[in-house]
């Protein structure tokens, strides 16, 4: 724990998985198998490998099967944030789980697959973390290290690591990996009910408190069924 900024991560796993249909017609997206195991186990295994002891997983769509699966794990120890009654989106989901999250905490999407560089993504974020100047620190990846990704990118990053949005009609050099280190300060005065984390990021950007760090490993987008095979081939060497 000495090298990590937090011992807890939240995994955002409540989404409807519309882009992954038809595979999500009868199972939640985090349970879709890639290279022999469910997507969420790829994320949970990475947490365990990094030494992160606890995870909070939010559930909504076909929640029973996902809840039973994650609660059976020993490492990390998982607790569930129940959104069966209302899907709260990324920001609202984090706010609901906040009483169970220390300050700071890691947050990541359930459908992330990545291969770490020299150090784990969580150790890289921890080394760069400075709560005096940051509300959130996002792990971003250049296009060359983003597998299966063909979009225009998300962010520009200045020499100090501060992030700004891609401008309309432009290409941005960095893509958000879905992994971040978050201060409770980011969540202050948050809206009630469902909302996107983007609202909070925008405020942090305006205040110069949204930072990024470039990932040194490989990141795989696994958003549609067509992305599964090339991801498996890359992970298994063919």
Q: Which of 147, 111, 93 is nearest to 31 (CA)?
A: 111
Query: What whole-number distance in Å separates Cα of residue 57 and Cα of residue 153?
Result: 27
Q: Give me the residue spans of the domains in the chain.
A: 8-236
What does the chain come to in residues? 238
Per-residue model confidence as pLDDT tens digits over 7-57: 999 999 999 999 999 999 999 999 999 999 999 999 999 999 999 999 999
197 token code pair:
């984390």
CB 113 within 8 A of CB 29: no
Helix-helix angle 39-50:63-71, to 10 degrees: 30
Write out 110-125 in H/E/C secondary structure: CCCEEECCCCCHHHHH
Per-residue model confidence as pLDDT tens digits over 27-38: 999 999 999 999
Query: What whole-number distance in Å separates Cα of residue 230 and Cα of residue 211?
Result: 31
pTM over 0.85: yes
What is 8-236's CATH topology? Answer: Spore Coat Polysaccharide Biosynthesis Protein SpsA; Chain A (3.90.550)
Query: What whole-number distance in Å separates Cα of residue 212 and Cα of residue 140?
Result: 6
């Amino acid at each position: 724990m000495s090298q990590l900024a937090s011992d807890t991560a939240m995994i955002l796993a409540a989404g409807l998985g519309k882009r992954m249909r038809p595979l999500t017609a009868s199972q939640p997206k985090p349970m879709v198998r890639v290279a022999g195991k469910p997507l969420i186990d790829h994320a949970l295994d990475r947490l365990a490998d990094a030494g992160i002891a606890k995870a909070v997983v939010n559930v909504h769509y076909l929640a029973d099967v996902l809840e039973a699966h994650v609660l059976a794990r020993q490492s990390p120890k998982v607790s569930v944030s129940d959104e069966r009654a209302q899907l709260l989106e990324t920001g609202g989901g984090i706010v609901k789980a906040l009483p169970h999250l220390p300050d700071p905490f890691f947050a990541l999407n359930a459908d992330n697959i990545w291969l770490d560089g020299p150090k784990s993504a969580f150790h890289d974020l921890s080394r760069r973390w400075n709560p005096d100047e940051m509300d959130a620190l996002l792990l971003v990846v250049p296009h060359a290290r983003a597998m299966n990704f063909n979009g225009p990118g998300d962010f520009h990053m200045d020499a100090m690591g501060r992030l700004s949005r891609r401008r309309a009609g432009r290409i941005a050099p960095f893509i958000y990996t879905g992994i971040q280190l978050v201060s409770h300060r980011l969540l202050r005065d948050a809206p009630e009910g469902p909302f996107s984390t983007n609202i909070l990021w925008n405020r942090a950007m305006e205040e110069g408190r949204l930072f990024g760090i470039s990932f040194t490993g490989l990141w795989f987008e696994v958003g549609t069924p067509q992305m599964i095979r090339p991801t498996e081939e890359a992970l298994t060497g063919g």
